[in-house]
Structures are given as structure tokens and as C-alpha cells.
Amino acid sequence: MKHLKGIVYRAIVAGVCLLSLSSGAEAAESIRVLLSAEVPRLDIRADGPLWVTDAKGRDQALRASVQVEAAGAWFLLNGVRMQTEQLTLHGGEQGLTLTFPRLARKPTNGTAVSSDDSGTEISVSGLVHLARKGKGFLVINRVDIEEYVKGVVPAEVSSTWHPEMLKAQAVAARTYALYQQMLSATREYDVVATVQDQVYRGKQGVDAGILRAVEDTRGLVVTYQDAPIYAAFSSTAAGLTEDAVNVWSKEYPYLKGVECPFDLMSPYYQWKSSFKIDTLEQNLRQQGFSVGTIATITPLSFSRGGRVAKLRVLHSGGELVLRGEELRKAVGYTIIPSTQFAIESIGRDVVLSGFGAGHAVGMCQWGAKELAELGYPFSTILRYYYPGTELQNMTLTKAPIPPSS
């Protein structure tokens, strides 16, 4: 019986792993989510037996918990060396619970991030894939795309919000994931589980309302010319939403600004913030900008929506022109919630006052909440924020064309 269970398990794992080699609709059934990068150690547990497969397909059953460590070019499993650069773990239908160490550090290059929940747990469905890289390893969750959407919606908005808004968020999250997956063939993962893409926390926060929103929209994505769109969304527009070209210097025909007078109740509608000028100098240098001691920062141009498009930074080494989003990235997205701001004063501290939160491209989450409460269905909300688009089943879509710059 134990031998039979092993054969059945290997067949299941082989079937899931084959998804990575499939194309079209089959490939879209699962997605690779980067949970964390440069992880030196990871504790993993399951409710029952835990299966581990190496890069050569050799598998073994372990007890219900295991500690994985990076050791040279290989891994240690509960202190035992495994000469492989990749491991895949599976815990059955109940999934796996991962605990990241507090010493996991965040890379500063903005490409792959360690978990914001260092030292805490995340419970996930599907497989967990570990790949040695640098001094640690990548932690990638290969999960059914609908299970992934269930983990995104409550991490992005409150599960207590109107059901039609939750449906709109589910469709946007699924669309974004499919878009990224179709363009990520050369990468080791499709999306990152943070604001770099969209926040994903596994099974955390999944309740009956979330399950209903995902199930009621199962398979639906937003399309433009039959391809999934880059379904950008952010918290609070506080005015017009923004043309993507003004934020990312990339042209998307369906990411055009629309009026959004619906988010007045957002706690982020108006804000005030400050940061140290020497922190800005240091962070700009880390990001490759040549900058001396900063004397002044002045808005240079504004978008149609009234957001700071470019700033002139005068410093001891000359002049630097930054995009508004580059300033947000350098200082911190939570410190400068949006580029719709005015500079109140500059000294050792820079004081800003502003409106809105996020890049304001695509769907405004607080605006969508209000529209849902006014009686609009999720389909109308999505078509409003993504002009010229349609809803389709993801199995009928074709690959998107990358945007023009």
C-alpha cells in the first residue's frame, strides 16, 4: 500500500511539473510565484508526509517537517547534504507551511525581494520549488492560478468590501497573472508575491466572500484584441486615473486616464509625509544615479492628472532630472504614497503634502469599491477603468504584445 501511494504521488507531481512544459491554456492552469529570494534557511511543514524531489527526479518521503539550508552549491535537508541545485516539495492536499528566518535580507536592486513576513509563516497550496542562487535560494510556489487569485484578493483589499468589487479585483488579479506568465518564459518565475507585482499571502485571509468572488469569476480575464491586458491597479487615484505612458514611459492603449471622483472615503485620499534628504542622496546613489549634496528639488512637469511627471534635482555635482515614480522608488512607496504631491519645505527634511496612493494607472481600488456600492456590476467597473477592453475566458486568449516605449 505504501509503495502504491508513492507511485500515485509521483504521478501527481509529474503531472503538475509537466504544466511548466505545456503551452496555451494548460500552462495557464498553474503559476510560479516567487515568495522570497536569497533565503539561507527555510522551515517547511505539512500535516502529513512531505515529499521531496531533486533535479534528477529522485524523490523521498520525509517526516512532516523539514529544515532546508543552503550549503555551498547544494542543500542541507535536516542536516543531510543533498547534491542538487533544485528541490521540489509537496505536502498533499493540505499544502505546506513555510517559515522564513528573520535573517533573510531584502536585495536592494528591486528585482527580487525577500518576504516582508520574515520570521513569520505563509501557508500555500501546490508545490514549493527551491532553486540555489547566490548565497541562498529562491522560494517559488507553483500553484493553481485560481488558488493564487484567492491568495491575492484579501491581500490587496478587505474581504468585507462589496462582492462586486471583490469580483473586479479577482478578475484584475487573474488577468495580471496571466499576462505576466505569457511573457515570462525565460524567467524562473512568473510573478513576485509583493507590490512589485501584486501581493500574495497564500491561504491567509481567504474566507467565504473571497471564495465566492473567485468562483463566480473563474477563468475570466480582461482582454484587449483577444489578449490579456496588463491589468494595473492601485489604491486611490484622488482625481483622474493616469495614462501609463506618463508613469512608466510605456504605451498601453487600454491604460488611459478616466475620471475617478469615487474614492473620497479612502483613508489615503489626502496625506502629508517627510523624509531625510541624506537618505534620498544615499538611495539615489545605490540606484546608480550620480548625485552630490542636494540643494533643491523642484517639480519640472506634470501629467494631465496633475501628478509630478518630472523633477529637477540641483546638487553639488550638477543637475539631475527624475521621473516622479523614480523619486517614490528612491524614498519608499509607503513614504511617498503617490506622485500627486506638492513640496512644502526642504531642509534636512523634505516635507510633502499630497493626494492618493499608488501609481493611479488602471483600476482605482477605492473607486471600484464605491462604484460597486452604487450598484454597478464588476464587468462594468472593469470596462470603465480599462477602456476598450472585453471580458473573456482565459483559455480563449492569445499572447499579449509587449508595450511600445
Q: Measuring CA to CA, which residue among 245, 265, 238, 268 is closest to residue 337? A: 268
38/40 Cα distance (integer angstroms): 6
The pLDDT of residue 113: 42
**120 grid coordinates:** 513569520
The pLDDT of residue 405: 65
294/107 Cα distance (integer angstroms): 26
The pLDDT of residue 103: 55
Instruction: Give 318-368 as a DSSP string.
Output: EEEEEEHHHHHHHH-TTTS--S-EEEEEESSEEEEEEE-BS--BSEEHHHH
Percent helix / strand / coil, the chain, rounded to 5:
25, 35, 40
pTM of the predicted model as reported, rounded to 2 decimal places: 0.85
Residue type at position 261: P
Q: Measuring CA to CA, which residue among 246, 240, 276, 268 is closest to residue 358? A: 268
- Give the chain's residues under pLDDT 70: 1-28, 103-119, 405
Q: Which residues pair with 404 in a beta bridge?
A: 251
85/61 Cα distance (integer angstroms): 19
| Residue tagged 495580471 (cell numbers) | 176
pLDDT digits (tens, 9 = 90+) for 28-66: 589 999 999 999 999 999 988 899 999 888 888 888 789
pLDDT digits (tens, 9 = 90+) for 327-378: 999 999 999 999 999 999 999 999 999 999 999 999 999 999 999 999 999 9
Put the strands of the sheet holding 74-77 in their side by side order: 80-82, 74-77, 65-71, 41-45, 96-99, 121-124
